[in-house]
Structure 1
Amino acid sequence: MGAGEFFQRYFVDPIKYNQGYNPVNTTVYAIILGIAVLLLYRLLKKLGIRVNETFFVSLMPYIFLGPLMRAMTDVGMLPRTYLTVSPGGYFVIAAFAIAALFVVWRHVGPGEKFYPLYRDVGLLLVGGLLFILIINLDKVDFRWSYFYYFLPALLAAEAFIWALSKKFEIIRNNRILFYTHFYDATTTFVGIQFFGYWEQHVLARTLIDMTGTPAVMYLEKFVILLPVVWILDRMMEDEDPDLINFVKLAMFILGFGPGTRNLLITLMGV
């Protein structure tokens, strides 16, 4: 198999034919993500931008852009191209977020004025997509029955994390991450169990096939998340707090982004 055929089979065809992820592209994308996290962290340090709660809030509009763009693509409001579905769509959103960061930083510097202005630029981008959504609402057949399944499942899942956070400090200190990833697991569980969707990621798809239930997503999330936050909090406590915060921010995005995409796609009847 030549390099071109290899790239076509493992990277182009899965996007073109909506085949989901495979072990090859999953590994490559994971490596790219790891490198990107380190490079972006160094960029923020160089620019003097702190990775704290204020930065997290200012970044939220950009985090929401990805799943919104994907849902609007799947419903037909945006053209389906390599740049509007994952992983290309996430590269596009990242490019917008980084470009906006540079523009705002050059305008006001890394001080307190940076964060609200950076947030507002992101809100303008979200507003643009929402405007396209509003003028194309005739293309959407909202599936409001989704919430009959989603809300009870979400409440049960988050109540479980809340109960654990009362007993275990490691979960209490990282409860936002656990809440977010159990939200993601819930959107996957409801979509597959009640609306006939399928899982695109290799590990999750394998676990679902082995157990026969998408509820295994909760266990997968917990088993992966717990040792990661343990390492970050207990074994890397002497590292730069901004680095730890940025890694946790990346983990939050990996839960919130796909979860919100799943929610929007199911709700919009895609």
Structure 2
Amino acid sequence: MGLYEFFYEYFIRPIQENQGYNPVNTVVYAVILGVAVIILYRMLKRMGIKVDERFFSALIPYIILGPLMRSMTDVGILPRTYLTVSPGGYFVIAAFAIASLYVVWRHVGPEERFYPLYRDFGWVLLGGLVFVLVINLGKVNFNTEVFKYFIPALIIAEGFIWFVSKKLALVRDNSLLFYTHFYDATTTFVGIQFLGFWEQHVLARWLMDAFGTPAVIYPEKFLILLPIVWILDRWMKDEDPDLINFVKLTMFILGFGPGMRNLLIMLMGG
């Protein structure tokens, strides 16, 4: 198998035929993500931008952009290409976010005005995408029946995290991450269990096949998150707080983004 055939087999065809992820592209995308986190963290440090609540708030519109674009692709509003589905779509949104960050930073520097101006850039981009959605609402088949399954499942899932957070300090100190990933897990569970969707990720798909239920996504999430936050909070406690915060921010995005995408696709009849 030549290089082109290899790339086509493991990276292009899965998107063209909606096959989901495979072990090869999963590993490659994970490595790319890890390298990107390190590069972006160092870039922010050199620019003097703190990874704190202000930065998190400024990122919110960019975090919403990816899931909205993907859901609009799945319902036929946007064309299905490598640049509008994951992971290509997230590369595009990341490029917009980084470009906007650099433009704003060049204009005002890392001072207090940076954060609201960067946030507003994001809201403008998001507003443009929402406008495209509004003028194409005729292509959307809204399905509010989703809430009949989603709300009870979400209450139970988040109630579990609330209970565990009372017992484990590690969960309590990182409750936002656990709540967010159990929200993502709930959208996955509801979509597969009740609405005929399927799992695209390799490990989760294997576990669901092995245990015969999509509910296995909950312990999978919990057992992956717990050692990661232990490493960040205990083993790496003496590292730069900005690095820890940026890794946690990335983990939040990896939970919130897919969860919002799943919910939007279900609601929009994708």
Q: TM above 0.5, one fold?
A: yes
Offset of residue 53 of structure 1: 1.0
Offset of residue 2 of structure 1: 1.2
Question: 1 CA distance for matches of 2:79 and 2:149?
Answer: 30
Question: 1 CA distance for matches of 2:26 and 2:82?
Answer: 16
User: Which sits farther off after the overlay, 132-141 or 234-243?
Assistant: 132-141
Offset of residue 196 of structure 1: 0.4
State the one-letter code of the partner of 2:58.
S
- Which residue in the other structure is 2:20 paired with? 20
- Which residue in the other structure is 1:139 paired with? 139
CA displacement 1:117-175 (0-9 Å, x = unmatched): 10111011111111111111111110000001001100110011011111211001000
Offset of residue 23 of structure 1: 0.2
Give secondary structure in 2 for the equivalent of 1:197.
Answer: coil
State the one-letter code of the partner of 2:39.
L
State the one-letter code of the partner of 2:40.
L
TM-score, normalised by the number of residues in structure 1: 0.99
- Which residue in the other structure is 1:259 paired with? 259
Question: 1 CA distance for matches of 2:235 and 2:263?
Answer: 35
Alignment of 1:82-97 (within 5 A): 82-97=82-97
- The runs of 4+ residues in structure 1 deviating greater than 4 Å are none
Give secondary structure in 2 for the equivalent of 1:215.
Answer: helix
Question: 1 CA distance for matches of 2:39 and 2:187?
Answer: 31
CA displacement 1:164-223 (0-9 Å, x = unmatched): 111211001000000000000000000000000000000000000001100000000000
- Which residue in the other structure is 1:201 paired with? 201
State the one-letter code of the partner of 1:8.
Y
Give secondary structure in 2 for the equivalent of 1:205.
Answer: helix
Count residues with an aligned counterpart: 270
Question: 2 CA distance for matches of 1:82 and 1:239?
Answer: 37
- Which residue in the other structure is 1:81 paired with? 81
Question: 2 CA distance for matches of 1:60 and 1:173?
Answer: 21
Give secondary structure in 2 for the equivalent of 1:183.
Answer: helix
State the one-letter code of the partner of 1:231.
I
1:183 aligns with 2:174: no
State the one-letter code of the partner of 1:139.
K
- Which residue in the other structure is 1:114 paired with? 114
State the one-letter code of the partner of 2:217.
M
- Which residue in the other structure is 2:236 paired with? 236
Give secondary structure in 2 for the equivalent of 1:239.
Answer: coil
TM-score, normalised by the number of residues in structure 2: 0.99
Give secondary structure in 2 for the equivalent of 1:131.
Answer: helix
Question: 1 CA distance for matches of 2:54 and 2:215?
Answer: 34
Query: What is the identity percentage for the equivalent residue pairs of Structure 1 and Structure 2?
Result: 73
Instruction: List alignment gaps of at least 5 residues for structure 2.
Output: none
Give secondary structure in 2 for the equivalent of 1:50.
Answer: coil
Offset of residue 81 of structure 1: 1.1
Question: 2 CA distance for matches of 1:64 and 1:88?
Answer: 16
State the one-letter code of the partner of 2:216.
V
Give secondary structure in 1 for the equivalent of 2:214.
Answer: coil
Offset of residue 3 of structure 1: 1.2
State the one-letter code of the partner of 1:75.
V
RMSD between superposed Cα atoms in Å: 0.6
Question: 2 CA distance for matches of 1:64 and 1:221?
Answer: 21
Question: 2 CA distance for matches of 1:149 and 1:126?
Answer: 28
Offset of residue 74 of structure 1: 1.0
User: Which sits farther off after the overlay, 72-81 or 196-205?
Assistant: 72-81
- Which residue in the other structure is 2:192 paired with? 192
- Which residue in the other structure is 1:69 paired with? 69
Offset of residue 85 of structure 1: 0.7
